[in-house]
Amino acid sequence: MGRADDKEKVKELLFDGFTESSVSGKGGVSIVSIVGQGGIGKTNHAKMVFNEIKEQFGNRSWWVCASEKPNRMGLLQKILKEVCKESQGEPLKDSTSFP
CB 32 within 8 A of CB 14: yes
Name the region of 81 (left: φ>0; alpha: ψ -120 to 50; beta: rest): alpha
What's the confidence (pLDDT) of residue 27? 56
Is the domain of 48 the same as that of 8?
yes
66 and 18 inside one domain:
no
The predicted structure's pLDDT at residue 56: 81
Distance CA 47, CA 59 (A): 17
Q: How many independent structural domains does the chain possess? A: 2
Residues 23 and 52 in one domain: yes
Do 50 and 82 have their domain in common? no
pLDDT at residue number 20 = 54
pLDDT, position 95: 43
- pTM confidence score: 0.60
67 and 54 housed in the same domain: no
pLDDT of residue 87: 57
Structural domain for 34, as ranges: 1-58
| pLDDT in single tens digits along all 99 residues of the chain | 567 888 888 888 887 756 554 445 555 666 778 888 889 988 899 899 988 888 887 767 777 777 667 778 888 888 888 778 755 555 545 444 444
Tell me, what's the pLDDT at 17?
A: 59
Together in a domain, 45 and 17? yes
Q: Count CB atoms within 10 A of the CB of residue 17.
A: 9
Judgement on whether residues 42 and 87 belong to the same structural domain of the protein: no
State residue 86's pLDDT score: 58
Instruction: Residue 57: name the closest of 17, 82, 32, 28 by CA.
Output: 28
